[in-house]
Structure 1
Amino acid sequence: MYARRPNPVFTDEYKIIRDALIAARRASGMSQAQVAARLGKAKSHVALIERGQRRVDSLELLHLLEIFYLDAGPFFSELAASLSKLNKNSDPAVRRSAASRAPPLSAVAGRQ
C-alpha cells in the first residue's frame, strides 16, 4: 500500500498565495459574495479558495487580480519574494534539484 501524498492545497507555499488573495480582497473592500458574482461563480467558490479547500489556476488568479484592480507584475513580484523567503528555510539540495529541471523562462515564452 502506498502512502497518500499530501494535498498541495495545504502547503505553506499555497497558504502564502491564499493569504495574499484574502488581503487583496479585503483591501478592495469587496465581500466574498461580490467577488464571486464578478467571477460568475457561487459565493462558496471564493470561500473554498480562502479556506484552502480549492486551488486557483493561473487564469483565475489573473481574473481575481483584475477584480481587485491590482497589477499582476507587482503582485507576482511580492509573491515571489514571500515564496523565496519561505524556500530559504527548505532543504538546499531539493531547491537545486528543482531549479536544474526548470527550463529558462525565455525558452518557454517563445513556444507556440
Structure 2
Amino acid sequence: MVQARKDAGLTQQQLADKLGRPQSFVSKTENGERRIDVVEFLELCRLVGADPHNVLRRIEPSGSR
C-alpha cells in the first residue's frame, strides 16, 4: 500500500484527509500496526488508484497458492 500511495503522488496526510482519518491511521496501517477490514482496504485502493487484486498478489506470501 505504501508504494501504491506514493505512485499516486499522495502523502500520508493527503490520503488521511481523503479518508477523513488522522495521519496516524495511514501510518499504522502501512506499518502493519493496525489491521483494516475489506471495506477499508477497498476504499484505500480506490483512493490511490490501485487494483485490489494486484495489491493482494504483491503482499501474498510466495508458495501459499
Q: TM-score range by the shorter chain?
A: 0.7 to 0.9
What displacement does 1:47 show?
0.6
Is there any run of 5+ residues in structure 1 with no aligned partner, and where?
1-20, 89-112
What displacement does 1:66 show?
1.0
TM-score by length of 2: 0.82
Among 27, 40, 45, which residue is 1:65 paired with? 45
Is there any run of 5+ residues in structure 2 with no aligned partner, and where?
none
Report the Cα distance in structure 2 between the residues aligned to 1:35 and 1:70, rounded to whole angstroms. 13
Match runs of 1:72-111 below 5 Å? 72=52, 76-77=53-54, 79-80=56-57, 83=60, 85-87=62-64
Rate the CA distance shift 1:87–1:54 in 2: closer, same or farther, 3 A: same
TM-score by length of 1: 0.50
CA root-mean-square deviation: 2.1
* Alignment-mate amino acid for residue 87 of structure 1: S
Among 16, 36, 40, which residue is 1:56 paired with? 36
* Alignment-mate amino acid for residue 51 of structure 2: D
